[in-house]
Amino acid sequence: MRKSFQRIAAMAMAVMTAASLAACGGGSAAPATTAAAAPAASEAAKADAPAAAASEDKEVTFQVTNTHSGAPIQDKTMDMLIEKAAEYSNGTIKGTKIAAGSLGGEREETEMIQLGTLECGLISDMGIDSAIGGLGWAWLPFMLPTYDMVDKYYINGWIGEELTKQMAAQGIVRVAATENAYRECGNVKKPIKSMEDFAGLKIRVPETKACQDFYTAIGAIPAAIATSETLAALEQGTVDGVDNSISNMESMGVMERLKYITLLNYMYSGASIVCSEDFWNSMSPAQQEAFTKAATEAGEYMRTEMRAAQDEILAKYDFEVETIDPESDFYKQLNEKAAALWENYKTEYPAEIMDRIMADFSV
């Protein structure tokens, strides 16, 4: 586990001294559980679970945050989590928000979850991977080309279950799935209508190996830059373009700068509501059930809104939008590059996982 203690010490202190901070854990008398004991059922099954009767449990408190400052969907998701957790626990689980982006990037937030200095976060699975590693098999390029496949395998299937297990092994309780949606490419230079148009373009990407590998393979120059630093990098000419979902591009503040959007849909980017082991273990079984139900409903809301937001956002701005015909030579060339990357990843991730990917999906 890669814990950069010195780098996040100041952020941990900031959380501990925040005006709204209450004591972590609240002192439930329930026996401690582990992260691996967190529910691994499908999102649909968790949503259908009855609310727990937790009125006799002692009060527990949590703080929650994310990295997208000014993003209404993420902000409303946090509000819903707090409200529903209180409702389903009969007021024994009380949450507050920390201003989005105030604790650093997703790597820092993940490390604070591991340390127990942050109770809860809305964090992308790629962001969690930047701290713990080993999860990149879940978003191979062109592995999940439709939302039907996303819902079947990632949200309600074996991919989500495996991610939950792997995060648990690193001290992170994955309570529910949210979403970052499909990753697209925006730039200020030119429309992208062929492989040749990618040549030499400097594209901002996250700290995610699969994203960096993909852009390198198609001839672009990937630059790993934090969400909070992307607008400045675009304005200063450090990068020519941005890789992210449409909704996240808007929350990053880059939409008015971009001139061209290419809907690549090359990679589904999942996200999760996660919490620390300390917070999870501080809750009684009834409170854990209540918190899981609240998180699942908040996650469903976020997925619905993220998917609906793309067309609305694109209509608001004056730039050229390019879509790629799945029957075109361009699309086939992109898939050929992805297929070569899949072969390389066979030796980077567990054989049983890669064997299942090869059996269930194609590129």
Contact 322, 198 (CB under 8 A): no
Instruction: Identify how many contiguous H helices and E strands the chain contains and give both numbers.
Output: 14, 13
pTM, two decimals, is: 0.84
pLDDT reported for residue 42: 72
pLDDT reported for residue 45: 66
Contact 264, 146 (CB under 8 A): no
Instruction: Compute the chain's Rg from CA coordinates.
Output: 20
DSSP 8-class letter at 37: G
DSSP 8-class letter at 152: I
256 burial type by CB count under 10 A (0-12 exposed, 13-18 middle, 19+ buried): exposed
Residues shown for the chain? 363
CA dist., res. 97 & res. 103, Å (int): 12
Give residue-wise pLDDT tens across range 275-289.
999 999 999 999 999
The H or E element that residue 79 is part of is helix 72-88
**Pairing verdict, β 241-244 and 184-187:** antiparallel
pLDDT reported for residue 228: 82
CA dist., res. 21 & res. 44, Å (int): 32
H helix intervals, 245-350: 246-252, 277-282, 285-316, 329-345
Question: Which tops the pLDDT comparison, 45 or 316?
Answer: 316
pLDDT reported for residue 185: 97
79 burial type by CB count under 10 A (0-12 exposed, 13-18 middle, 19+ buried): middle
CA dist., res. 2 & res. 133, Å (int): 8
Phi (first) and psi of residue 108, to 5 degrees: -65, -45
Considering the domain 182-268+316-360, what is its CATH architecture?
3-Layer(aba) Sandwich (3.40)
CA–centroid distance for 313 within its chain: 20
Contacts of 359 (CB under 8 A, 6+ apart): none
Q: Does 182-268+316-360 match 5-181+271-308 at the fold level?
A: yes
Q: Where are the beta strands (DSSP E) in 193-240?
A: 202-205, 221-224
Contact 222, 216 (CB under 8 A): yes
Residue with tokens 């994203």: 211
**Pairing verdict, β 260-263 and 120-124:** unpaired
Contact 27, 57 (CB under 8 A): no
**Mean pLDDT, rounded, for 26-45:** 52
pLDDT reported for residue 39: 55
pLDDT reported for residue 10: 47
**How does the average pLDDT of the chain come out, rounded?**
88
Distances (CA, A) of 84 to 243, 249, 265, 290: 33, 28, 33, 8
Give residue-wise pLDDT tens across range 160-177.
999 999 999 999 999 999
Give residue-wise pLDDT tens across range 113-160.
999 999 999 999 999 999 999 999 999 999 999 999 999 999 999 999
Q: Which fold has domain 5-181+271-308?
A: D-Maltodextrin-Binding Protein; domain 2 (3.40.190)
CA–centroid distance for 241 within its chain: 21
Give residue-wise pLDDT tens across range 296-350.
999 999 999 999 999 999 999 999 999 999 999 999 999 999 999 999 999 999 9
**Mean pLDDT, rounded, for 194-200:** 96
Where are the domains positioned within the chain? 5-181+271-308, 182-268+316-360
CA dist., res. 223 & res. 232, Å (int): 13
Residue 343, token pair as written in the block: 């072969």
